[in-house]
Structure 1
Amino acid sequence: MESIIKHLVEITGYRDHDLLNISIASSLREIFVARSARVSELSSNATATFLTAKVDITSTGVDVIDQSEPMLLSDKLSDIAELKTAIAGQQPVIEYLINNDPCICLLLWNTGRLEALIELIHPTNRSLNTMEVVRGMLVVYKNFLALLDYNERDSLTGLLNRKTFDDSYTRMLRMNVGHLALAEDELGADQPETENKVDHYHWLAVVDIDYFKRVNDQFGHLYGDEVLILIANIMRNSFQPNDHLFRFGGEEFLILVHSSSLGEAHRVLDQFRTNVEQYHFPQVGQVTVSIGFARIDTFEPAVATVGRADQALYYAKTHGRNQTCHYDMLVANGDLHQEYSNDIAEFF
């Protein structure tokens, strides 16, 4: 009993989804006396659902899998029929084999949506009492997760809120450091400093709805709220599972774009802008957005990156709107000057 209470205290001591999932996976590995535990999270876009491995946990510690590429959930289900049946029936616990090793899989549900899987490889404690304890822990987890969502997500759009931005930005910085270190290892430390050693970076984009005040004034705040909800839905369908989407306040959104080249980041962001432009908003008709984005530089504080993206957004808003502008490109072309203020709220 004392051990169970200790695990529950640890699980409910976190205010972060990733740490919460690691904590419950670590606790379950100990309870089942499993060789290892893997946490994988689910995400979706307009066409598919993906499964991304996040951490592997063993007796020696936690291995964070920052570079893991998402796999199609359908591929996983085609290999494991038991998992497909469990998801259809919203079951919390199932058993199957992975490479001939027994596995207990815990399905982490949140308001009817499957959010993550915890796979316990080669468990040795599989008593009936253990299974009952684990089912109880999953109920605690589910209730605690609902509280976290209430605190971390924007109540109108369901996107991440401003309070979660700093942690997400810090994690992306850590991944940026990893990418640069990997590139140096592959190319060699003796490469000239001027040589571009890596062409894939993370990016921060600031999105603002054009003439949003007119929407509220002409059609009312209920239709304004509907525009915000629909744009949030378009965002979910326009970006990859590893990208992070925030409503930063009012009609302003932030996007953390996962590792990609400048050309690919510009293409994805501009495709989102086009998707909004081509969407017919009920009663309102056409709505457009302006986007400014900047590369996330290693060791640079979030406020500096947001400031550069804001300046690119300011340029987009003052030069026709409904366009996507990259900060460094504007500076290189002489189009952007430092007298632009980072505080652009009054203009919008």
Structure 2
Amino acid sequence: MIHDDEKKITVSAVYRLLIASFFTSVAFAVFFNIYPTAHIIDSIIPSIDAIVLLTVLIYYHYSPHTVMNKIIVFFIIFFILTFSPTTIYYVWMAWGNEWRFIDEYPPITGLIMAIITLSVIMLPKKYKRYMVLMWASIALPIIYYLLNHPEELQTPRGYELIGTFGPASLLLYIVFPYQKSIRRHINKVTDDLRRFELEAGRDYLTDIYNRRGLTLWLGQLKSDDQIAILLIDVDHFKNINDRHGHSIGDRVLVEVASRLRSIYFEKHTIARWGGEEFAVILVNPKANTLPFIGSMFQHTLGSLPYKSVGKVTVSVGVSKIAPHDSFLELIDQADKALYIAKNNGRNQSIIYSESLKQPYSRAS
């Protein structure tokens, strides 16, 4: 479960990194084309980056979970190939006395450190070594050059470069422990929320779905799934409460729920619909077996005595079969059939028909 949560977080994080990198590249491309420098590379690289990142973003959008790891590796390699050769080019030319490095190197240090920091925070821990590689491929050539050219180091730009790629980079080692802590906290919060959601969807007494949980369960069915509904009511439950007390009545409900779990073995679920009434949702049942299924539930629930109270019977109303998005209509059908079962003497299963005066009945 935690692994799935981490994957979801990573998918979202990679998505945002790609979007942020794309718009940043677009901004740099626009800026350097409006205000070009003496080096055409400053205009060409951001434009190429923007095109590549847009292509990768579209590719990632259609299948993020399956290509996520490939995209992360690509992003790291892409980042290195974008900034490292550029940095080495300016350092190499400056070393050959073609120009002063601090005068010609483009103002991209803030962007580089921002991308590295965001990658450290947002990407999984296992990619930490690649973040170090990204930093080293860019920072080390600059630091080495400036340390060997003190006349450039001792300038405002020189101090800014050595400070950014030197002492300021140490802040990343402060971020690393917090990254793990933040992810652990996010996983815990996500896990707690899922647990609270599950608990909120279950009946506290019988530990089966309540109406809210049943609604969530229905939302997981396939679009072409069909269902039928059985509404089951414990006969004369008020008399049980009056004669034996509410605590014994609660035990009867728990035992009914327990028996419901072991009656039907095809795909279905059970829920406490309210009070002493239970709902059974059958998924893709066969129409010719539906009357017998209702009767099976009615007989099984009432065949053996219950602890403390002895004989207990139930009445069952069975709906027709329809697509699961007709749930409310099917509940209404089952409820009408149940009403007739109770009015006809209880302890029977009735399936809904168009004419409620003559429903199909299998009374015991």
Higher relative contact order (CA 8 A, sep 6+): 1
Q: TM-score, normalised by structure 1?
A: 0.50
Structure holding more strand per residue? 1
Structure holding more helix per residue? 2
Q: TM-score, normalised by structure 2?
A: 0.48
